[in-house]
A and B are shown apart, each in its own frame.
Chain A
Amino acid sequence: MPERYLRQSVLAHLGLESRAVDDPGDAGLVLCERAHLGKVGLRGDPADKAFLAAVEKELGFALPLRPNTVTAGDDVTAFWLGPNEWLLAVIPYEGTPLAEDLVKALAGLHAAATVLTDSRTVIGVSGPAARDVLAKGCPLDLHPSAFPAGSCAQSLLGKADVLIHLHDGGARLDLYVQRSYADYLWRWLEDAGAEFGIAVLGD
């Protein structure tokens, strides 16, 4: 893991900070990069009560067991990725202590916690046209009746695999994208959102 001061966002070459505004005005699409959010991959058997209990004790809340749902505490958000797979997103950005604590807590169980902090970056999408822009390249039904606030889904956006998280209240969507696709996805969003007007916010 690189030293903090050497760490660079995968979108650093786009100079987003120089474009950042405080007030998005009447922009239809508002974008920001949430760089360096800590991430931990978690695998384990949800039928194993000891696994669920150990994770709940460590996180302070229970893992989401229903597909495409999210649970969260103050600093950690847990996404359902599969029937035995979760992604933990950690604020502030260091995922390592949580992963180490989980590894200790899960000792002896058939489970794994892996630091994935630099595997993906997160692009925050908001503004009145946010769902319309995503609908241009995403096969999911993004209508609030089918994709309610507080849910998540893994799907495609353009040609990129993304994990989409619609925050409680529905005001912002976070796109978790593999770092090698981040530049492509950002440019795709700028292209798809141009007709609505785009504003960039700071991290």
Chain B
Amino acid sequence: MLQIACPHCGPRDENEFSCGGEAHIARPKQPDAISDAEWADYLFMRTNPKGALAERWCHTVGCRRWFNVERDTVTHTILRVYAMGAPRGGGGGA
């Protein structure tokens, strides 16, 4: 089980949270102007790295707020917790 530091509530067990998948995937601005392949790429294709991955998490049974987590997919180490809307590489956590 992971222990995740909610930016509001502090460290809580993983079963209080839900994972919203990979973060920083921008929806195409004009879906009808792109090809099926490009749309499928947006919908289905993920980086699936071995190492640091940025994910969206929600503190579902706690404060119900979304935030970003950078997690090492090999060691499960949580590298960084930062606010929704903040850039991945940017300074200053949430």
Contact = CB atoms under 8 A, between A and B. Distances in A.
B15 interface: yes
Contact of B65 (A68, A82, A155): A82
B43 interface: no
A52 interface: no
B61 interface: yes
Interface stretch (B6-14, B33-41, B46-54): B6-14
Interface string B1-38: 00000001110110110000000000000000000000
A67 B10 CA distance: 9
Interface footprint category on B:
10 to 19
Contacts of B93: none
A156 B16 CA distance: 7
A156 B63 CA distance: 12
Interface residues of A, number: 13
Given A67-B9, A67-B10, A82 B64 contact: yes
Contacts of A161: 61
B62 interface: yes
A85 B9 CA distance: 13
Interface in A69-127: 81-83, 85
A128 interface: no
Contacts of B64: 81-82, 85
Interface of B: 8-10, 12-13, 15-16, 61-65
